[in-house]
Structure formats: structure tokens, C-alpha cells
Amino acid sequence: MNSLMDTVLSAMPDLMGKELLMNIMSAPWGNPQFKSIDNFGVAFATHTGSRRSRNEDRVVVAKITSRSQEQFAVAMVCDGVGGSEMGDMAASLAVALFLSELSQINRRQPLSTTLSELIRKMDDGVRLALGGRGTTTASILITSSTGKFAATNVGDSRIFSWKSGDRLQQISVDDTIENELQNLSVLDPSVLEARGLRGSLSQAIGEVGRSARDLRVHLFEKDQFLGGGSDYSI
């Protein structure tokens, strides 16, 4: 286990990342949690549920100042893929990698470019450290001090938009085999049902058999969310 932990910690780009990962891993995720963070205007809740013995959700809300002195606010959920040996480790590592890499950025560029680069680094880092023994979904919202906004998801962790007096609206699209086949107009639902594949993921962070270049990153920008007075929910 120590050699595995050494490998996982070596995936972090700096000491801050290593400390962050240790803090995330040692948090009491097995306990039901509801927290409101007033200075961010956000709240989150997580629960192990009734089907699994461990909680593989990892939730982070953070403010990060990068080396370029640009400031970012991040809301992020990673959910270890059920059935993988170390889904909880994958989710913890993904969160720590993303935030640590964000702090290392030393140039200014479009926020959508930054988000795309970071999620690919996160994907490579989880794959390198765990070798397929753990994978995770991810949904991320990020804003910058320049007023820019971007979001993305991998897997079936969903991103919603909400406006007071209205219903939640799902913005993200689940990365499932079913949706992939629908896009190709070749879906026969009975085939998925018969093979137990309905709802199966078509991609996840850290999966083996591909590189980060092959990861399909769907980016969402502010105009895709409901306007005026909206709150954004992952």
C-alpha cells in the first residue's frame, strides 16, 4: 500500500498538491454531509447511499490564485466509478490534480482552453497513478477574475442550471453508451437492455486503453445557462 501511495503522491506537481490530496483522502466522506458555504453562495450534500459500503463522491469548492496572478473560483464533483477497485482514490486524486495544476498556470489564455487542458492533465494523472484500478466521473464549473465562465463534464456527473421559480435544467450530456448510439442514430434499446449496458459509461477519467488526447471534452459557456439571477448547480 505504501508503494501505491508513493505512486499516487508522485502524480502531484508540487508540495501543495500532495498536502491537498492527503487532506481530501483523510476527510470523513463516509459520513452524510450537508454544508453551506456562505461566502461562495453555494451548498453541497453527499451521502453513501443504500447500495454501496463506501462513499466515492468528492466535492470541492475553492478559490485559487494561479502563478499568472489570475484568480479562479471552482466548484467540482468527482464520483468514483462503481465497480472499479479504487474509485474513491481516483476521485480524490482527480480533484487534487485539477486544483494543483490550476495553481501552476503561468500564462493567461481563454478559460475554455485552460479547462480543456486541465481536465486532460487530470485524466492522464489518474491513469498513470492507478493504471486502470480506479476511474472517476467529473463535473466542473470554473469562473475567473476576468468574468469568464466555463464548465465541463466527463461521465454521468451532471451539471444543472436553475432559476428561481423554474425547474432545474440539465446542461450537461451524460457520457453513456446509450447516448453515443443515439448520436449515431443506431440505437436499439433492447440490445442494451439484454446485455445489461443501459446507463453504462462511454468514458471516464483515468480509464486505460487510450490517452488524454482521445478524451472527448464537452465545454459549456455562460450563454448556455439560464440567464438573469440564475444559480448553477452541479
- Helix (H/G/I), strand (E/B), else coil: 234: coil
Q: Is the pTM of this model over 0.85?
A: yes
Q: How many CB atoms lie within 10 A of CB 102?
A: 21
Q: What are phi and psi of 42, to 5 degrees?
A: -135, 165
Domains in the chain, please, with CATH?
2-159+204-233 (3.60.40)
C-alpha cell at position 143: 469562473
Check whether 230 has a pLDDT greater than 50: no
Mean pLDDT confidence for 145-171: 88
Burial of 155 (0-12, 13-18, 19+ CB in 10 A): buried
Q: For all residues of the chain together, what is the average pLDDT?
A: 85
Determine the pLDDT at residue 164.
75
Determine the pLDDT at residue 232.
41
Mean pLDDT confidence for 48-59: 85
DSSP 79: E
Determine the pLDDT at residue 25.
92
How far lies 228's CA from each of 41, 128, 224, in Å? 16, 42, 12
